[in-house]
Amino acid sequence: HSGKKPGRVLAEKLHQVKVGEVKSVPVVVPEKCTVYDAVVTMFIEDVGTLFVVREGGFLEGIVSRKDLLKTTLGGQDIHKLPLGVIMTRMPNIIYAEPDESVWEAARKLINHEVDALPVVKANAQEDGAMVFEVIGRFSKTNITRLFVELGEGDY
């Protein structure tokens, strides 16, 4: 028995568990995808955030439920409007890397008031520019699941 305060043990756990261990499969769409297709994809895949990628799976943008709702209220033709016009675009995307702690990633969700982060592998291209390959999704659901598992003593 270590004699540590329980809160301290939980804190250590939250810093130990890495984003890569709890991440989900990302749902990605291409930039030319229409707003209509994005709404359908959100329903079919049952996610609240879509990641917009170009060839190779590299992150270009992000679209949330409210982005799509706002656009449908705007009266534009959602069958013709591509996501590239309405998405939040790089470099303004908050992301996580697989080796960072779930605590750090959770703090980003709170600080930036967003529901999900793309989990990315950052690579430097030959010309020195950075590209971000989308390898996962980290959302409030992942935190809730971890919370439940911690409560059950599973983790």
- Contacting residues toward ligand ADP, per CB under 6 A: 49, 62-67, 88, 92-94, 113-117
Q: How far apart are CA 43 and CA 51, in angstroms?
A: 15
Q: How far is the CB of 150 from ligand ADP (least distance, A)?
A: 24
Residue among 17 and 94 whose Cβ is closer to ligand ADP:
94
Residue among 14 and 61 whose Cβ is closer to ligand ADP:
61
Residues contacting residue 135 through CB under 8 Å, at least 6 positions apart:
23, 26, 98, 119, 120, 121
Q: How far apart are CA 61 and CA 88, in angstroms?
A: 5
Q: How far is the CB of 62 from ligand ADP (least distance, A)?
A: 5
Q: How far is the CB of 139 from ligand ADP (least distance, A)?
A: 9
Residue among 2 and 111 whose Cβ is closer to ligand ADP:
111
Residue among 104 and 115 whose Cβ is closer to ligand ADP:
115
Q: How far is the CB of 106 from ligand ADP (least distance, A)?
A: 13
**What ranges make up the beta strands (E) of the chain?**
28-30, 49-54, 58-64, 88-89, 116-124, 130-139
Classify 52 as helix, strand or coil.
strand
